[in-house]
Structure 1
Amino acid sequence: MWRSLFMALGIMAIIIGVETLLIDSASMYAAAESTAADFIDPGATPALRTEVWEPGEKFPWAMLAIGTVIVLYAITLPKRWHSHGAG
């Protein structure tokens, strides 16, 4: 169970790192103020409040490094963890 949890977290961090390498900025819309019909018109802003997030230059590389270390840790975990010992 622990192995799969750490593997999932590491792969997710790697995916976020690759995605942020490919984008310059991301626009986030307030979900409470928008409806599905607002997203149909490509020229309109789906919400009144938008927040633009620009990842720093080191962020993608940090996420890739952290994700890689977590995946390598998950691979090297023993298959069975005995937390209470045999007895």
Structure 2
Amino acid sequence: MSGAGGAAGAGTTVPGAPGPRDAAPSRGAALVAALREVRRVARGVLGSDAYDRYLHHHRITGCNHPPLTERAFWRAKYAEQDANPGARCC
């Protein structure tokens, strides 16, 4: 009888106590969050988030006209950079 009772007791867990599988998702979630932050910073440094910032600005300012398409936005941005080079080296 003690063998049967011991086997039943060995498989029980305390409710709410972290198990071996509970630690992995939190580490994975932290890694995913860190990678998303790295991506966000890299996009900001490289300027590839400019269209997203344009759309956000367009939404919050209440513009009457529809926003530019992404293709039209980049064309206009590059045309502006070519017309007014500013502090670029080339």
TM-score tier, shorter chain, comes to 0.3 to 0.5
Q: Choose between structure 1 and 2 for higher RCO, CA contacts under 8 A separated by at least 6 residues.
A: 1
- What's the TM-score, normalizing by structure 1? 0.33
Per residue, is there more strand in 1 or in 2?
1
Structure with bigger gyration radius:
2
